[in-house]
């Protein structure tokens, strides 16, 4: 695991560091779609096939994620619903959830950047 920012260049740098530590890695899960696209770019620049050599996934399901090459597997988060609920909680218009933690239902969107582990 590496910690980096949530932008494309940080995704590239994060994957470079992961490959330095574990040259045979088979999957990368980025903190968001922007970082995942940077990871895709870095893997391609090293001649690695996605998903043949390494699977890549992100979070957010931003509109451009389906247009990436290969199309990005991602976790869809209902951002508008989460924002609306957060606003209602902040305004006191909704009762706090039990234990103070609100669960947000997400959805895995499997596209072309992920596949079975090599071998």
Pick the range with the lowest mean pLDDT from 2-11, 20-29, 99-108: 99-108
Which residue, 12, 2, 62, is CA-closest to 32? 62
Q: pTM to 2 decimals? A: 0.87
Output 112 or 80, whichever has higher pLDDT.
112
CATH number at 8-76:
3.40.50.2300
Report which secondary-structure segment, H or E, holds 5. none
Could you tell me the residue ranges of all domains in the chain? 8-76
pLDDT at 99: 86
76-91 per-residue burial string, b: 16 or more CB within 10 A, e: under 16: ebeeeeeeeeeeeeee
């Amino acid at each position: 695991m590496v910690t980096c920012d949530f932008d494309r260049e940080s995704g590239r740098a994060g994957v470079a560091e992961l490959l330095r530590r574990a040259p045979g890695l088979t999957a990368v899960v980025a903190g968001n779609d922007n970082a995942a696209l940077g990871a895709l770019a870095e893997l391609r620049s090293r001649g690695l096939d996605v998903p043949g050599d390494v699977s890549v996934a992100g979070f957010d399901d931003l509109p451009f994620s389906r247009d990436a090459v290969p199309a990005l597997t991602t976790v869809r988060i209902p951002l508008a619903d989460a924002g609306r609920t957060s606003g209602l909680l902040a305004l006191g218009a909704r009762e706090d959830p039990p234990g103070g933690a609100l669960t947000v239902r997400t959805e895995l969107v499997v596209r072309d950047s992920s596949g079975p582990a090599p071998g």
